[in-house]
Amino acid sequence: MGSTQLPPGTEETLAATTAAAAAPGEPVEMVQLLGPDGKLGTDPVFSDYAKRIDPEKLRVFYTDMARIRRFDQEATALQRQGELALWVPLTGQEAAQIGSGHASQSQDYIFPTYREHGVALVRNVDLAELLKQFRGVSNGGWDPRENNFHLYTLVLAAQTLHAVGYAMGIQRDQKLAATQDSTDSKAAVIAYFGDGASSEGDVHESMVFAASYNAPVVFFCQNNHWAISVPTEVQTKVPLANRAKGYGFPGIRVDGNDVIAVHAVTEWALEHAREGRGPVLIEAYTYRVGAHTTADDPTKYRESAEEAAWREKDPLERLEKYLRAEGLADEAFFDQVDADGDELAKYVRSTTHGLEVPDIREAFANVYAEQHPLIAEELAWFEEYSAGFESDEETAN
Amino acid sequence: MATMTIAKAINEGLRASLTKNPKSLLMGEDIGHLGGVYRVTDGLIKEFGDDRVLDTPLAESGIVGTAIGLALRGYSPVCEIQFDGFVYPAFNQITTQLAKIHSRSLGKLTVPVVIRIPYGGGIGSIEHHSESPEALFAHTAGLRIISPSNAHDAYWMIQKAIECQDPVIFFEPKRRYWLKGEVDVENAGLSEDPFKAHVVREGTDATIVAYGPLVPVALAAANAALEDGRSVEVIDLRSISPLDFDTVEASVKKTGRLIVAHEAPTFGGIGGEIAARIGERAFLHLEAPVIRVGGFHMPYPVAKVEEDYLPDIDKILEALDRSLAY
């Protein structure tokens, strides 16, 4: 993947870019490469990173964005049909998630919120596993260590501290590896959170700790403009990316609907972290096109004109325009993407119906890692109680 | 055998763990060069360096939250919360995250984090420095809660806590930090299992259950009762979660009377839980209701009146009299 050396002058250029600490109400610089018109622009730092993305990779970006959007639609439908208790749609945020997810390397560890379905896809988490949580059969079905993709965290911002601690562990692993004369691959951590969570104290504390210990962590904030019904303006009076300055590390706002820029900026940030230069905050400026969750009704708090304006900035459409204009993808490619989407939808639907309901004994078994007498006592009671019903049934039969 | 204070015993126990396990580390406010406000970690930063003994930013949620992340990466962090009353900023991380990660990952992840908390009153301190919040944590499944009352236990229990794969909250009786006792650093003996209660004095007429700072008080009360010809058994609970009801039950079946003493308020407290369970397990053996001695339902009072608040020998003897009067 990426080179370990930053291009000459990168730090200085970035300093100039991110130093535009806008006062309240002032505009802030935003890194954008692929505009809504499908035209590729340039950036003094990140164009070099964008050049690393070959046409095949671009087609993968498009395929993944289309797949996760289709998955999102299918999961929303499943919720409407009563198959899922709740769904958390990501539509609109595909570029932010697919772009950043693809910038990560296998040894990097990801701490998602509960909406990072796109990142999960990139990290090869079985999408059916995501549905377990929303069908009420599991609180997180996958093994986080298999793909270095942590379980979803539902208490806002709690995972940002876990991410920093994990990154502190990576730092110590490298030192231990050095003393043991072995080569441990350099790794970084991504902490995902949103504009709403940015108000939580844990985000502040995580940034303080990350800065103090120079931890290899990238804070990836998807500013999707709405924390359920409250707009970003209530959470912050300055662009969120500018908050990084207060902690003493770089903050970059990137067009979150531009998958090329998101990938370039995240790749830069992860290299920065892996090379021991410390944390980075990325604010991916995007929009939650749908509801916060299926329990929400956006018509109560925002104008449809706003939604329409953001639909014009759609992340898939602009990449499609670019791929077609540059002759990088033909009609057959897009037909295939649609066909794959249909297959995925079928898979998701059939898998959801087949998800097994666990036994409550599984819950008893996992409260503690080691023996616990109260668990044993309550389980024994439950077994005896349950057995009573079984013998009643036998008598009745 | 060596004679040392409880504070020194914890220090030595931490030193032993840091030596044995290269992935164990300490983190907290002022625990490095100062050695902690009670000097429990005195000298450890010199010996193990600042990668293993971390003076953290002043943020309790940050301490516990990053400890969770370190544990997920394979480390065994031991956090110090400076005082009992300052644990609340970390309450969310402890109860919604630390306690649940093993369960919600279906056992795939373990988070062997230890949280040391100096707790309890009797030191004439200012607000928020004398509290006993153990019941708040005992109510949360997924956590283990233990509290030593003597130096030997302190030395061994802290090491067992660090070895345990579950999160452990280690409540340190701060007014007993300077209490000296014999420590066998070669053999844990009865301290091997930190989750079992100990009968620290045998008796036949009544049982007093206590833990942490009140164990010496319970023993003194038992001594005083002997002068009146009463033979009182004393149990040092040691572990609050899990709670060794078997040992308490066996004692009550022998004595027929039970007094539970803790500094925490009685309402919604550990004493009530013990009373209920013993009622279920040994109802027909009880000669009197289980009587609780503990704090009042009020914020911990100002230091000049804390003597009226804290359980002492007289309050325990009064409870004993009430029990024996049935």
Min Cα distance A373 → chain B (Å) is 7
DSSP letters, A189-222, are EEEEEETTGGGSHHHHHHHHHHHHHT--EEEEEE
Whether B229 has its CB under 8 Å from any CB of chain A: the answer is: no
Using a pLDDT cut of 70, give the percent of chain B over it: 100
Residue A23, classed as helix, strand or coil, is coil
A79: its two tokens: 């919720």
Give the residue on B whose Cα is nearest the Cα of A374: B242
Residue B270's pLDDT band, with cuts at 50, 70 and 90, is very high
Report CB contact under 8 Å: B102, A365. Answer: no
Question: Are residues A278 and A388 located together in one domain of the fold?
Answer: no
Domain boundary among A320, A335, A354: A354
Give the residues across from A284 on adjacent strands.
Answer: A222, A254
Question: Are residues A267 and A397 located together in one domain of the fold?
Answer: no
Least confident range from A2-16, A142-156, A205-219, B104-118: namely A2-16
Helix (H) or strand (E) holding B116: strand B114-119
| pLDDT at A3 exceeding the cut of 50 | no
| Within-domain flag for A281 | yes
A383 is in which domain, residue-wise? 360-397
Q: What is the pLDDT of residues A250-272, one digit of tens each?
A: 999 999 999 999 999 999 999 99
| pLDDT at B156 exceeding the cut of 70 | yes
Question: Are residues A28 and A47 located together in one domain of the fold?
Answer: yes
Question: Are residues A314 and A366 located together in one domain of the fold?
Answer: no
Query: What pLDDT, on a 0 to 100 scale, did the predictor assign at position B87?
Result: 98
For chain B, the 3-state helix, strand and coil shares in percent, each to the nearest 5, are 45, 20, 35
Query: Which of A368, A370, A374 to probe by mutation at the B interface, max B CB count within 10 Å?
Result: A368
Whether B280 has its CB under 8 Å from any CB of chain A: the answer is: no
Query: What pLDDT, on a 0 to 100 scale, did the predictor assign at position A128?
Result: 86
Q: What is the mean pLDDT of residues B301-320?
A: 98
Question: Are residues A292 and A397 located together in one domain of the fold?
Answer: no
Report CB contact under 8 Å: B107, A172. Answer: no
Give the residue on B whose Cα is nearest the Cα of A208: B57
A-B contacts (CB, under 8 Å): 145
Residue B83 has, within 13 A of its CA and on its CB side, a CA count of: 14
Q: What is the mean pLDDT of residues A133-158?
A: 94
Give the residues across from B201 on adjacent strands.
Answer: B234
For residue A172, the chain B residues in CB contact (below 8 A) are 25, 51, 70, 75
Which residues of B are catalytic, by number? Answer: 129
| Within-domain flag for A137 | yes
Query: What pLDDT, on a 0 to 100 scale, did the predictor assign at position A14?
Result: 56
Identify whether A361 is a catalytic site residue. no
Using a pLDDT cut of 70, give the percent of chain A over it: 90
| Within-domain flag for A297 | yes
Report CB contact under 8 Å: B62, A161. Answer: yes
Place of tokens 């009377």: B257
Question: Are residues A371 and A227 located together in one domain of the fold?
Answer: no
Query: What pLDDT, on a 0 to 100 scale, did the predictor assign at position A118?
Result: 98
Q: What is the pLDDT of residues A5-31, one digit of tens each?
A: 455 555 555 554 444 444 544 557 999
Report CB contact under 8 Å: B68, A172. Answer: no
Question: Are residues A194 and A329 located together in one domain of the fold?
Answer: yes
Whether A300 has its CB under 8 Å from any CB of chain B: the answer is: no
Q: What is the mean pLDDT of residues A180-194?
A: 83
Report CB contact under 8 Å: B61, A202. Answer: yes
Q: What is the mean pLDDT of residues A328-343?
A: 97
Q: What is the mean pLDDT of residues A313-320?
A: 98
**Could you tell me which of A248, A242, A279, A274 has the C-alpha nearest to residue A161?**
A279
Q: What is the mean pLDDT of residues B19-24?
A: 97
Question: Are residues A299 and A380 located together in one domain of the fold?
Answer: no
Report CB contact under 8 Å: B92, A155. Answer: yes
**Pairing relationship of beta strands B206-210 and B53-55 according to DSSP bridges:** unpaired
Whether A380 has its CB under 8 Å from any CB of chain B: the answer is: no
Quote the number of domains for chain A.
2
| pLDDT at A119 exceeding the cut of 80 | yes
Whether B105 has its CB under 8 Å from any CB of chain A: the answer is: yes
DSSP at B240: E
Q: What is the mean pLDDT of residues A335-360?
A: 94
Q: What is the pLDDT of residues A230-245, one digit of tens each?
A: 999 999 999 999 999 9
Residue A130's pLDDT band, with cuts at 50, 70 and 90, is very high
Q: What is the mean pLDDT of residues B183-205?
A: 97
| pLDDT at A349 exceeding the cut of 90 | yes
Question: Are residues A364 and A350 located together in one domain of the fold?
Answer: no
| Within-domain flag for A197 | yes
Give exposure, B53-71, as e/b (b: 16+ Cβ within 10 Å).
bbbbeebbbbbbbbbbbbb
Question: Are residues A213 and A310 located together in one domain of the fold?
Answer: yes
Between residues B145 and A296, which one has the greater pLDDT?
A: B145
| Within-domain flag for A7 | no
| Within-domain flag for A294 | yes
| Within-domain flag for A8 | no
Q: What is the pLDDT of residues A36-75, one digit of tens each?
A: 999 999 999 999 999 999 999 999 999 999 999 999 999 9
Residue B26's pLDDT band, with cuts at 50, 70 and 90, is very high
Report CB contact under 8 Å: B103, A161. Answer: no
Query: What pLDDT, on a 0 to 100 scale, did the predictor assign at position A177?
Result: 84
- CATH number for the domain harbouring residue A107: 3.40.50.970
Question: Are residues A394 and A270 located together in one domain of the fold?
Answer: no
| pLDDT at B140 exceeding the cut of 70 | yes
| pLDDT at B82 exceeding the cut of 80 | yes
| Within-domain flag for A213 | yes
8 A C-beta contact, residue A248 and residue A259 = no
For residue A158, the chain B residues in CB contact (below 8 A) are 65, 92-93, 96-97
- In sequence order, what are the residues at sequence separation of 6 or more whose Cβ sits closer than 8 angstroms to the Cβ of residue B94? B64, B87, B115, B137, B140, B143, B167, B169
| Alpha helices (H) along chain B | 6-20, 44-48, 60-72, 91-92, 101-104, 134-138, 151-163, 215-227, 245-255, 270-282, 306-309, 313-325
**Could you tell me which of B121, B151, B146 has the C-alpha nearest to residue B7?**
B151
Q: What is the pLDDT of residues A274-294, one digit of tens each?
A: 999 999 999 999 999 989 999
Which residues 110-129 in chain B show a CB within 8 A of chain A? 110, 112
Using a pLDDT cut of 90, give the percent of chain B over it: 100
Question: Are residues A295 and A179 located together in one domain of the fold?
Answer: yes
Query: What pLDDT, on a 0 to 100 scale, did the predictor assign at position A176?
Result: 86
Query: What pLDDT, on a 0 to 100 scale, did the predictor assign at position A11?
Result: 59
Residue A127, classed as helix, strand or coil, is helix
| pLDDT at A320 exceeding the cut of 80 | yes
Report CB contact under 8 Å: B72, A162. Answer: yes
Residue A4's pLDDT band, with cuts at 50, 70 and 90, is very low
Whether B244 has its CB under 8 Å from any CB of chain A: the answer is: yes
